[in-house]
A = this chain, B = another copy of it.
Amino acid sequence: MNQNCETMSQKDRILLAAYDYISNEGYANASLREIAAKAGVVLSQLNYYFKNKEGLLIEVIQLMIDKYLLEVEERLKRGANAKERVSYFIKYFQEMLSENPKLFRLLYDFSSMALWSDVFGKQLSNLFEKLSILVEKYILIDIPEDSFLKNESPNAIARILFGTMFGTAIQVLLDPKEERLPESLTAIEAIF
């Protein structure tokens, strides 16, 4: 994510500064002036490259989504079977949560905005859909025949798996004592 600022295009500098600032302060609290300042750019440049604030956020989010999906798939490929892949999937989630909580905060912030905006809503449900497909493809293809999950549709299971991590993650983020993170998530492994 980091690169020498001088070698980056103006647009990329804005994009990265926006990602950084928004995920630190929240979209609602992030002003275009502040983002421009962090990017070392003049305010009007933001309207030049991205039509408006919404346009900027859309590109920031898309940046995050693409990067995130790539990394998830890379992790999923590491496992030899469904059980291993679930393990890698969860481990990746745990790492992100403890090492890069900014990305999670951005995701949650964006999720709430998606509830009020059609554009954001479509973008986010597309992410959920893609994640679902990944989980189906890498995990649910060889789920044991005797699993109690066998009766449910792959999509439902995938959404539960991801939903569980999404839902427990925010509890972890808000928990003043962070000890609960490891056990909460690893317990999910037992389900598969």
Query: CB within 8 Å of B: which residues of A?
Result: 25-26, 28-29, 105, 108-109, 111-116, 121, 124-125, 128, 148-149, 151-153, 155-157, 159-160, 162-171, 173-176, 180, 183-184, 187-188, 190-191
Report the minimal beta-carbon distance from A54 to chain B, rounded to whole angstroms: 13
Q: Given the interface contacts A111-B112, A114-B174, does A163 sit within 8 Å of B160 by beta carbon?
A: no
Report the minimal beta-carbon distance from A105 to chain B, rounded to whole angstroms: 5
Question: Please, which residues of chain B bring their CB within 8 A of the CB of A174?
Answer: 114-115, 121, 124-125, 128
User: Quick one: closest B residue to A125, CB to CB?
Assistant: B174
Q: Given the interface contacts A109-B115, A125-B171, A170-B166, does A180 sit within 8 Å of B155 by beta carbon?
A: yes
Copies in the complex: 2
Give bound CA distance, A160 to B166, whole Å: 10
Is the Cβ of A164 less than 8 Å from the Cβ of B155? no
The residue from B28, B167, B191 contacting A191, defined by CB atoms under 8 A apart: B191
Question: Please, which residues of chain B bring their CB within 8 A of the CB of A156?
Answer: 180, 183-184, 187
Report the minimal beta-carbon distance from A102 to chain B, rounded to whole angstroms: 10
Is the Cβ of A183 less than 8 Å from the Cβ of B124? no
Kindly list the 4 A-B residue pairs having the minimum CB-CB distance in the complex, ordered from nearest: A163-B167, A167-B167, A166-B167, A163-B168
9 CB < 8 A contacts A-B: A26-B116, A125-B174, A125-B176, A148-B191, A156-B183, A163-B163, A163-B167, A163-B184, A166-B166
Give bound CA distance, A175 to B188, whole Å: 24
